[in-house]
Structure 1
Amino acid sequence: MRLTCKEWVLTALLGVTAASALTTLILILVEATDVLLPTDTKFGVVLDAGSSHTSLFVYRWPADKENDTGVVSQALACRVTGPGLSSYASDPAQAGESLEGCLEEALAVIPAAQHQQTPMFLGATAGMRLLSQKNSSQAAAIFAAVTQALGRAPLDFWGAELLPGQDEGAFGWITINYVLGLLVKCSFSGEWIRPPEGTLVGALDLGGASTQITFVPGGPVQDKSTQATFRLYGFEHSVYTHSYPCFGRSEMLNRLLAQLVQRSPSHLVRHPCYHSGYQDTLSLAHLFESPCVQATALPHLPPNLTVEGTGNPRACVSAIRELFNFSSCEGRGDCAFNGVYQPPVLGPFYAFSSFYYTFHFLNLTSGQSLATANTTVWEFCQKTWRQVEEAAAGQDSQLRDYCASGLYILTLLVDGYGFSERTWPSIEFRKQADGTDIGWTLGYMLNLTKMIPAEAPAQWRAQSYGVWVAGVTFVVLTLGAILTAAAALLLWPRD
């Protein structure tokens, strides 16, 4: 059958339409695949070498979303068996060997094909900072043993280093705000926008040897030594941050006991923060080894002492307050304690590490008021040792110290940092945020591996989206034009 001229033109137009549409569709699908389909997952490993123990964390994130918010997730949290690295001063090799169990777990989580491309870091905090201050050669030996052990792993080991206290606080702040999605948001048009700064969360960290406070103040930071500035997702963030060595939970307990020991006129020390009915014999050798403990007039003391609890929260608070120098800040609205500059606390806060563990034990992590927290801790301190043991079924090795820790936290947060009945509700005591353990490790990894790049990925994503939209528009317009032409041909009168 022979086609007429009009039918031939119509057929040719439809053929060109189909070919153009198919070609464009292929290009769109290729571009859309780049934008929409999941890509390879990347991994990172960070070890937190704290004063009381070491933890290993494995993080993962989609490779094509490294500038997005909340894409990093925690794949593994492993607590290393044994004490903190600083406890291996007399046997450095054991410090390295202690990490092998958690390292094996990390290698099992990360695909073998990605081992060599996976960065791994170890950051040591206040425990090792104190050991470095006391005996630098012992600290160096521990770092050498750890470096050797981790260097044998088939990962991209970036080294082990001493993490300054200020960085510890600042990285913890990054972690919380990153996980909560408060640092950046992607708009509908594909552009990165900065959330209102008022939504950012402050960080309160209580470790074994030090404590840190970090937040965005209401005005400029007057003491620049307490200021940290970051460029995150292309936006500048300036925070107040300070770390207090020797004010961590373990060192506070040591300092408190040493203070009572040195004031005791006999071999029996009465401890107001221990529950009535508690009694134990303690060795003094380890107590006075810490650089945080100021030993005076020890010749009259025997190597061992009997410590007896009295369960007196009022006397306990009085003894704890003597660990601070509050008089150095009298009359100053921008001072915490020990003469340290601090602007007034502002905004919501997450309190983690020992802040959380202590208040979790005391059932004070559900938004209770300051008055309720005070009453709860005081009532707990007044319980007898038998009552406390029976309630806990003897399962908690820290049982003896929760009274002192609870009263210390209240003193630190209220008398030290300046929280009040009004601002206390702004504190959330948390272990995790959005399924991720809170601490400095994620912020440390993001900072050192540059996992928080500038806007390049966002620009690429916006361009990709633009190409995709342009392609769809082209197809629609082309089809519309050709179909219009076809309709016109069909309506022509026959010859």
Structure 2
Amino acid sequence: MQTHLLRVLGWSSVAVLGVLGVAVFLLVLTPAKDAALPTRNKYGLVFDAGSTHTALYIYRWPVDKENGTGIVSQVEACTVSGPGISSYADDPAGAGDSLKPCLDKAMKVVPAEQQRETPTYLGATAGMRLLREQNSTKAQQVFAEVAKAIGEYPVDFRGARILTGKEEGSFGWITVNYLLGTLVKCSFTGQWTHPPAEDAAGALDLGGASAQITFLLGTTIDDSSTRALLRLYGTNYSIYTHSYLCYGQKQALKMLMASLHQGSASPQEISHPCYPKGYQENITTASLYDSPCVHAPSTPSPAQVLTVTGTGDPAACSTAVLKLFNFSCGANRTCGFNGVYQPPVRGQFFAFSGLYHSLHFLNLTGGQSLSSVNATIWQFCTSTWGKVQNEFPTMNRTHLRDACAASSYALTLLLQGYKFNHTTWPNIHFVRQVAKVDVGWALGYVLNLTNTIPSETPQRVVGLRRSNWIAATVLLAIMLILIFCLLTITCCQKNSSGYESL
């Protein structure tokens, strides 16, 4: 009887062990549903080759995008030493060499294993547009040397090209609104939300050779050449944008000087009302008329020396600046200037680049009223050269000389050119950065680019849920106990059989 009982217990233990073994086997084979590897990031490099300088921006974004567009962040920025690449027309190799220190810096930021897949671009703006107009062969040589220099680095170089004015304006608008969170923003719950399209702000960009105005359309546009259609984060945007070539600050001040020369009573002398009284310098006719933005007299003498004398007259300065614009519009048409269609400005605007710098010098970027801005510029423009040098001893001489002209030009462009007034002036916010990121076209360029880069499926790893591990451990412990019991029963069974044989 006892032997039979031991046998029954033995076979029962074997059966239980079998069931437990199958259970553990099934648990081990059951993978975790959400065991994904950490999200991988992509990197992108963009050279912003402006008319006066070049900067390299290093961006990063997760491979899994939000409604088709990447969530991009600026990792690093590097200012290239020297002038813009268009200044190397007679030394193309110098343009390429100037980029290398910033490329060296980028190679220390982008992980080595990802460098060869990092898309790298160089976008040139109005400076190279003007060089192409002057001498297309020289422009091509500059681009060839730039491409050669970048090609020496282990990156996915996708070319150097000249952006159109519409692209420059559109990408600047994207940058501003992305940084403001009016395109997409992260909620308190960690989810990405999409604000209404009408929340988008306008963008006002003033470079060295061109000026851009871009804002969301409130009505149907009358001129399709000034309309751009964008799709970002699953939302469509119809914006007005126009770029005025030659109306960047550097070229505008050159046009101003040429206009004063051509209106001067003496062909060898220029009285400059925007320069401080007491300032004087000599320039050559060749340096004055070396740009396609400046229309030279019929028979200019390149070697002729001109004497420029500052008179510090703000009223005459304002009048001279106004002469750079043509404010006539066609019948039944609204326009900005030079006959270019522009609907009335609407909403909030963010002004950056030259617009910010020219007014920031006079501490006029803190939300001052238009009356206060006018009064401050007027007062500064009456200062003598000796006075401004004493007040700003460390200021670059050229920037100090141009401060009155630059601020007067910026104000005229905004008020008479773009048609802002006392009512809409408070809607302009002058900024250098938004959310600690530089404002310009480069970030918008990368954001738009991510629309064309396919998302990657997050890599997953087969693993166990924590609950599966716990259950498997418990079952294995039970199995070990049962095995111990089975061995004990077997041993007792043998001993019992031995007793019975005696």
SS at match of 2:286: coil
Q: Distance in 1 between matches of 2:389 and 2:452?
A: 47
The answer to whether the 8 Å contact 2:69/2:447 transfers is no
What is the letter of the counterpart of residue 447 of structure 2? L
What is the letter of the counterpart of residue 280 of structure 1? E
String of CA shifts for 1:442-484, please: whole Å, max 9, x gaps: 111232353677xx78xx89xx9xxxxxx99x99xxxxxxxxx
Equivalent residue number for residue 422 of structure 2: 421
Q: Do the aligned partners of residues 13 and 343 (structure 1) sit closer, same or farther apart at CA in structure 2, a change above 3 Å counting? A: farther
String of CA shifts for 1:269-304, please: whole Å, max 9, x gaps: 110000111111112212201000011244478621
Equivalent residue number for residue 49 of structure 1: 49
Equivalent residue number for residue 153 of structure 2: 153
The answer to whether the 8 Å contact 2:286/2:303 transfers is no
Q: Distance in 2 between matches of 1:431 and 1:392?
A: 21
Matches within 5 A, 1:103-114: 103-114=103-114
The answer to whether the 8 Å contact 1:335/1:341 transfers is yes
Equivalent residue number for residue 209 of structure 1: 209
The answer to whether the 8 Å contact 2:70/2:447 transfers is no
Equivalent residue number for residue 481 of structure 1: none
What is the letter of the counterpart of residue 47 of structure 1? F
String of CA shifts for 1:128-164, please: whole Å, max 9, x gaps: 1011111111111111111111111111100101111
Equivalent residue number for residue 309 of structure 1: 310
Matches within 5 A, 1:3-22: none
1:134 and 2:139 matched: no
Q: Do the aligned partners of residues 448 and 22 (structure 1) sit closer, same or farther apart at CA in structure 2, a change above 3 Å counting? A: same
Q: Do the aligned partners of residues 244 and 21 (structure 1) sit closer, same or farther apart at CA in structure 2, a change above 3 Å counting? A: same
Q: Distance in 1 between matches of 2:52 and 2:346?
A: 31
Q: Distance in 2 between matches of 1:451 and 1:435?
A: 27
Q: Do the aligned partners of residues 358 and 190 (structure 1) sit closer, same or farther apart at CA in structure 2, a change above 3 Å counting? A: closer
After TM superposition, give the deviation of residue 265 of structure 1 in Å: 2.4
After TM superposition, give the deviation of residue 186 of structure 1 in Å: 6.3
1:195 and 2:195 matched: yes
Q: Distance in 2 between matches of 1:154 and 1:310?
A: 55
The answer to whether the 8 Å contact 2:204/2:352 transfers is yes
After TM superposition, give the deviation of residue 327 of structure 1 in Å: 2.3
Q: Distance in 2 between matches of 1:191 and 1:221?
A: 35
String of CA shifts for 1:308-329, please: whole Å, max 9, x gaps: 1111111111011110001236
The answer to whether the 8 Å contact 1:66/1:451 transfers is no
Q: Do the aligned partners of residues 265 and 197 (structure 1) sit closer, same or farther apart at CA in structure 2, a change above 3 Å counting? A: same
Q: Do the aligned partners of residues 237 and 21 (structure 1) sit closer, same or farther apart at CA in structure 2, a change above 3 Å counting? A: farther
SS at match of 1:328: coil
Q: Distance in 1 between matches of 2:49 and 2:300?
A: 35
The answer to whether the 8 Å contact 2:66/2:233 transfers is no
Q: Distance in 1 between matches of 2:72 and 2:373?
A: 34
What is the letter of the counterpart of residue 417 of structure 1? Y
The answer to whether the 8 Å contact 2:116/2:156 transfers is yes
String of CA shifts for 1:33-55, please: whole Å, max 9, x gaps: 45xx5x23321100011111111
Equivalent residue number for residue 27 of structure 1: 32
What is the letter of the counterpart of residue 357 of structure 2? Y
Q: Distance in 2 between matches of 1:186 and 1:380?
A: 44
Q: Distance in 1 between matches of 2:437 and 2:393?
A: 30
The answer to whether the 8 Å contact 1:72/1:179 transfers is no
SS at match of 1:64: coil
After TM superposition, give the deviation of residue 11 of structure 1 in Å: 13
Q: Distance in 1 between matches of 2:333 and 2:19?
A: 80
Matches within 5 A, 1:249-264: 249-264=249-264
Q: Do the aligned partners of residues 326 and 22 (structure 1) sit closer, same or farther apart at CA in structure 2, a change above 3 Å counting? A: same
The answer to whether the 8 Å contact 1:183/1:195 transfers is yes
Q: Do the aligned partners of residues 115 and 377 (structure 1) sit closer, same or farther apart at CA in structure 2, a change above 3 Å counting? A: same
TM-score between both structures, scaled by the size of structure 2: 0.82
SS at match of 2:346: coil
Q: Do the aligned partners of residues 257 and 308 (structure 1) sit closer, same or farther apart at CA in structure 2, a change above 3 Å counting? A: same
Q: Which moved more, 1:441-450 or 1:102-111?
A: 441-450
- How many residue pairs are counted as aligned between the two chains? 458
The answer to whether the 8 Å contact 1:74/1:436 transfers is yes
What is the letter of the counterpart of residue 135 of structure 1? N
Q: Which moved more, 1:184-193 or 1:122-131?
A: 184-193
SS at match of 2:350: strand
The answer to whether the 8 Å contact 2:171/2:444 transfers is yes
The answer to whether the 8 Å contact 1:211/1:247 transfers is yes
The answer to whether the 8 Å contact 2:187/2:193 transfers is yes
Q: Do the aligned partners of residues 252 and 18 (structure 1) sit closer, same or farther apart at CA in structure 2, a change above 3 Å counting? A: same
Q: Which moved more, 1:405-414 or 1:365-374?
A: 365-374
Equivalent residue number for residue 393 of structure 1: 393
After TM superposition, give the deviation of residue 184 of structure 1 in Å: 2.8
Q: Do the aligned partners of residues 106 and 332 (structure 1) sit closer, same or farther apart at CA in structure 2, a change above 3 Å counting? A: farther
Q: Distance in 1 between matches of 2:147 and 2:303?
A: 40
Equivalent residue number for residue 492 of structure 2: none
The answer to whether the 8 Å contact 1:86/1:128 transfers is yes
What percent of counterpart residues are identical?
52
After TM superposition, give the deviation of residue 194 of structure 1 in Å: 3.2
What is the letter of the counterpart of residue 278 of structure 2? G
Q: Distance in 2 between matches of 1:452 and 1:347?
A: 32
What is the letter of the counterpart of residue 42 of structure 1? K
Equivalent residue number for residue 163 of structure 1: 163
Equivalent residue number for residue 102 of structure 1: 102
Q: Do the aligned partners of residues 316 and 70 (structure 1) sit closer, same or farther apart at CA in structure 2, a change above 3 Å counting? A: farther
Equivalent residue number for residue 123 of structure 1: 123
**Structure number with larger C-alpha Rg:** 2
Q: Do the aligned partners of residues 13 and 410 (structure 1) sit closer, same or farther apart at CA in structure 2, a change above 3 Å counting? A: farther
Equivalent residue number for residue 365 of structure 2: 365
Q: Do the aligned partners of residues 217 and 13 (structure 1) sit closer, same or farther apart at CA in structure 2, a change above 3 Å counting? A: farther
SS at match of 1:307: strand
What is the letter of the counterpart of residue 395 of structure 2? Q
What is the letter of the counterpart of residue 291 of structure 1? P
Q: Distance in 2 between matches of 1:253 and 1:426?
A: 26
After TM superposition, give the deviation of residue 193 of structure 1 in Å: 5.0
Q: Do the aligned partners of residues 366 and 14 (structure 1) sit closer, same or farther apart at CA in structure 2, a change above 3 Å counting? A: farther
The answer to whether the 8 Å contact 1:279/1:308 transfers is yes
The answer to whether the 8 Å contact 1:70/1:180 transfers is no
Equivalent residue number for residue 323 of structure 2: 322
After TM superposition, give the deviation of residue 239 of structure 1 in Å: 0.5
TM-score between both structures, scaled by the size of structure 1: 0.83
String of CA shifts for 1:305-364, please: whole Å, max 9, x gaps: 1111111111111011110001236x7562111110001111111111111111111111
Q: Do the aligned partners of residues 58 and 186 (structure 1) sit closer, same or farther apart at CA in structure 2, a change above 3 Å counting? A: closer
Q: Do the aligned partners of residues 187 and 82 (structure 1) sit closer, same or farther apart at CA in structure 2, a change above 3 Å counting? A: closer
Point out where structure 2 has 5 or more consecutive residues left out of the alignment.
Answer: 1-5, 10-15, 469-502
